[in-house]
Chain A
Amino acid sequence: MRPFTYERALDPVSAAARAAEVPGARFIAGGTNLIDLMKLEIETPDHLIDVNGTGLDEITVTEDGGLRIGALVSNTDLADHDVVRRDYPVLTRALVAGASGQLRNKATTGGNLLQRTRCPYFYDTAQPCNKRAQGSGCAALSPGAHSRQLGIIGVSDACIAQHPSDMAVALRVLDAVVETMTPAGDIRLIPLKDFHCLPGSTPEKESVLMDGEIITAVYLPPPVGGKQAYHKVRDRASYAFALVSVALIRHPDGSGRVALGGVAPKPWAMDEADAELPNGAKAVMAKLLEGARPTEENAFKIRLAERTLAAMLAGE
């Protein structure tokens, strides 16, 4: 871990302003991802701006009947919120499928969206990794490397890392919108589907946030109803990242929405795929995973995603 300086921000405006002003500054919320990465010198901020005191920890019902979730609301509180449990159950299910009780107590809504990949080579600073060290190469793509956990779609020749969040997959299927504040004090609304970037040739850039921009909230549209489910598939029963996860909202008429986790650098969903829901899992995945380019080790994820959705549609 590199030495760093530290300050507490008391409101989002000054947090964003300071972040733009101080070179090498980063926000810290729950710290459950950032501090681990700092210990390994994968992240090396010079300055930390603690945003826990910015008052962004409330969940409120919006005028249109949706929900505004403050960026600092913990994963535990969000999962446990009455309205979320009643009207957005897919979100509760996704949240409690993630990490552990202790971690969820600390993990925040904003931090969860920005957590970094679990690619094992990203975690070993001795290995080439374009995401960690631009232009150094991608260890996961060399023959004989270990890529079982990594992405199969939306990936590039530079990076095949997957986004590990469960929460984000549920937010995607719920069509959430991220609210931010820029260092200039402007509020931006970014649909979650546009929030994360695909790696292309710049895998180090993971979101559309600009320098110093702070997440202030996540909006959920008014409840869409339907049957909601989240199925996270993994080798052990808990405390593991998804091999594949499926978030599903399904209406009585057979229509609905699907988002996948564990397969791409961002929560993976597509309107054209949703339109195929009445035609079954195979049809949905044919669209959703069209053009997938898995490695030999993770090719099973295609079949797994399809079968998982099929089981959910079968009414598990």
Chain B
Amino acid sequence: MKFEEPTSDNLFDRAMVIGKATPRIDGPLKVSGQAPYAYERHDVVEDQLVGYPLGATIGRGRITAMDTEAARNAPGVAAVVTTLDIDPLEISSFNNARLFGGNEVRHYHQAIAVVVAETLEQARHAAEMIDVTYEEEEGNFDLEKAWQNGLGTDEADAETGNVDEAFASAEVTLDETYRTPDQSHAMMEPHSSIADWSDGENMTVWTSSQMIAWARKSLAETFDIDEDRIRVESPFVGGGFGAKLFLRSDAVLAALGSRAAQRPVKLTLPRPFIFNNATHRSATIQRIRLAAGQDGRLTAIEHEAAAHEFEGGGNEENPTNLTKLFYAGANRRVKHHDVVLDLPESSSMRAPGEASGLMAFEIAMDEMAEKLGMDPVEFRILNDTQVDPMNPDVPFSDRNFVDCLKVGAERFGWSDRNRKPGDTRDGLWMVGHGMAGAYRGAPTLTSGARVRLERGHLTVETDMTDIGTGSYTILAQTGAEMLGLPLEQVTVKLGDSRFPASSGSGGQFGAASSTAGVYAACVALREEIARRLETDDVRFEDGNVIAGNKAIPLEEISADAEITAEDTMEFGDFQDDLEIGTFAAHFVEVGVHAATAEVRVRRMLAVCDAGRILNPVTARSQVIGGMTMALGAALSEQLAVDKPRGYFVNHDLAGYEVAVHADVPDQEVIFLDTLDPAISPLKAKGVGELGICGVAAAIANATYNATGIRVRDYPITLDKMLDRLPETF
């Protein structure tokens, strides 16, 4: 099925199941420990061995020797495969850093060996016995230096109007530089796989992946084998945030270990590997210039940024992407520099580009509002646009940013905010209020599904994944809605390469795309039922199919044999002529300790515009999860680069400080009642990445409002404010 034009009124506008607050259908499995996560799938294949990886301990260079004798002779060891034992593996079309093979070391904790043994303890101990000799090379790990060298060089990526003239003649201007650090996905479940490649022929991988089809294709390319010989399963994923979009070394090492030991091998990346072996969000440096008239209308915007990437590419963190679209203004120039550094591979992390871009841009907007003497809410309302400002023929399909701002201001009590920075106290705490806008695109990807109706029970099968987002539930809701069944009569099976290929989960495209895929399959099923009833006028209600004035229970229709249908939703080109996006306004209250400069967030409000909300329970959970992640980004998360050695030093969860429960205050989420007919038949857009966008800047702005100290260098830790606080308190 092809989605060729914006949808009109349809059954989802009279929905019985879709849009209703529905607890996760997979919740009981999860809380009772029965949801099968990759590393714990003891039942899928017998005789599993355990693999343990060894990581390189230099940032760049080559391996001259590896002594594995002790490891091979250690108790319980079944196989040792080192990077010197095999030719460099192909780099798949989804990867940039090579995952294994050859003597070259390109980043710290690059996998250089896998030890396979009967137990984890044996494998880990044997891995420690491997003696590696390196020839170290000097690497380039310094983004700051690259930024200084690159600033102002090369042509703009996009430009309209006459920026220089607009700045020269502007009444009010701003020119500031902002920094965001390297960040880790730090998801709860590390990358984990069980691989069975015992015969060196057919490969099955039970893994933790956001994208089944990509994982399979990557495995095929990496090992140069036919995709048909590979099966991938990932029914449950303990968090991904982009870290599990692409094949990682866990699956590769498990497969190599399995081939060598001729038995299935399971392997999970030790926590330190998550930071240096796997991917991360690149640090960014961003210079933002704004120009406006006294009336508050933006006349010019310039955004120049740099982030780092692995040689060959992969960086998705382009903070200037959104700047082309978010606010009005006739003159605009954006430029992004991707700088090649020898750090581990940077790649997609929740809202890549938008997250870091808005961390900076929404502070700049706050600073500009202050220069103009305007309420930052009013300033944003004034500069709203309903068309692509660089391409005014392209309208937004449905943009309700202004409503987000207005509803948020009202619900937060913005008019009662602290107005003069540093003016409100609560004992030793300085109290401040801040806000920010948020924008994240709403892409769609082709998505397929198969549905089976048997004795009135519907089973949905698609290789879609649920990375904690609630896919199981919204797909069940979609199936139930389409067939007029109660939710209990729908089973959803996900994450298996034997099922039709879906969009997968990422880029906040999953919810919109995969529900559309299930919709398409259900339409096909309904047509098949209609065909069998020899009519084309059918309705599905209360477990019945109603043809004319006859109501036939679906149970009866599918009593003898299962009825199946399969289809794939493709999204038409008309979407390219529109800007389809999601929007939000964030409002935050913080307290800053007057003596120590510790920042603690007191309350947070998000107002979101993301089309139809398929399930308010799981959507809210996505947004507050994003807000929490952004809280960490604002105040504590930072991968510390050791510049001489070229690696992220704080490579555990004690050193890389994500927000913990005690950091998370009252969080409220309001979804505007909006519909976007241009996105899909369900008129629903994703929210998973919208939730992280803009939040950190709202916290930064509130911190400024509390203290009068502007920090433009995330995370906003106390040492950056301490010597600027008043001497007495």
A contact set with B: CB distance below 8 Å: 1-3, 39, 41, 118, 120-121, 123-124, 126-127, 139, 142-146, 148-149, 231, 233-241, 243, 300, 303-304, 307-308, 310-311, 314, 316
Contacts and interface: CB of A to CB of B under 8 A. Distances in A.
B654 A118 contact: yes
B636 A235 contact: yes
B657 A144 contact: no
Interface centre among A120, A142, A145, A311 (most CB of B within 10 A): A120
Given A233-B598, A311-B596, 17 more contacts: A120-B650, A121-B649, A123-B652, A127-B57, A143-B644, A145-B649, A146-B650, A148-B719, A234-B598, A235-B717, A236-B659, A236-B663, A243-B718, A300-B719, A300-B723, A307-B596, A310-B729
B670 interface: no
A311 B595 contact: yes
Contacts of B729: 307, 310-311, 314
A145 B645 CA distance: 8
Contacts of B30: none
A253 B635 CA distance: 39
A145 B644 contact: yes
A2 B649 CA distance: 24
Nearest to B56: A126
Nearest to B598: A233
Contacts of A148: 640, 719
Contacts of A310: 595, 729
B706 to A, nearest CB: 16
Contacts of A123: 652
B539 interface: no
Nearest to A238: B662
B552 interface: no
Contact of B661 (A143, A144, A145, A238): A238
B131 interface: no
B128 interface: yes
Contacts of B551: none
A127 B645 CA distance: 9
A311 B718 contact: no
27 contacts: A2-B125, A3-B125, A120-B651, A121-B649, A124-B649, A124-B651, A127-B645, A142-B644, A144-B642, A145-B644, A145-B649, A233-B596, A234-B598, A235-B636, A236-B635, A236-B636, A236-B659, A236-B662, A237-B660, A238-B662, A240-B657, A304-B596, A304-B722, A311-B593, A311-B596, A314-B729, A316-B428
A123 B723 CA distance: 31
Interface residues of B, number: 43
Contacts of B715: 235
Contacts of B595: 307-308, 310-311, 314
Contact of B640 (A2, A146, A239, A307): A146
Contacts of A118: 654-655
Contacts of A308: 595-596
Contacts of B718: 233, 235, 243, 300, 304
B643 A126 contact: no
A146 B649 contact: yes
Given A39-B124, A300-B719, A316-B428, A237 B600 contact: yes
B125 A311 contact: no
B128 A120 contact: no
A314 B57 CA distance: 49
Interface string B421-436: 0000001100000000
SS class, residues of chain A in contact with chain B: loop
B77 to A, nearest CB: 13
Interface in B125-145: 125, 128
B121 interface: yes
Contact of A144 (B121, B643, B660, B662): B643
A27 to B, nearest CB: 21
Nearest to A312: B595
Contact of A241 (B57, B593, B654): B654
B642 A237 contact: no
A121 B657 CA distance: 17
A120 B121 contact: no
A65 B155 CA distance: 79
A230 B663 CA distance: 19
Contacts of B723: 300, 303
A2 B654 CA distance: 23
A233 B595 CA distance: 10
B483 interface: no
A146 B660 CA distance: 23
Nearest to A44: B128
Interface string B616-636: 000000000000000010011
Contacts of B654: 118, 240-241
B604 to A, nearest CB: 14
Contacts of A146: 640, 642, 649-650
B538 interface: no
Contacts of B663: 236-238
A130 B375 CA distance: 56
B660 A238 contact: yes
A41 B643 contact: no
A173 B284 CA distance: 44
A144 B59 CA distance: 15
B243 interface: no
Nearest to B596: A233
Interface in B76-133: 121, 124-125, 128
B594 interface: yes
Contacts of B640: 120, 146, 148
Contacts of A143: 643-644
B125 A236 contact: no
Contacts of A149: 655
Contacts of A121: 649
A163 to B, nearest CB: 15
Nearest to A144: B643
Given A236-B657, A239-B660, A1 B125 contact: yes
B125 A145 contact: no
Interface string B591-612: 0011110101000000000000
A231 B632 CA distance: 22
Interface centre among A1, A127, A239, A307 (most CB of B within 10 A): A307
Given A311-B593, A316-B428, A1 B121 contact: yes
Contacts of B636: 235-236
B297 to A, nearest CB: 39
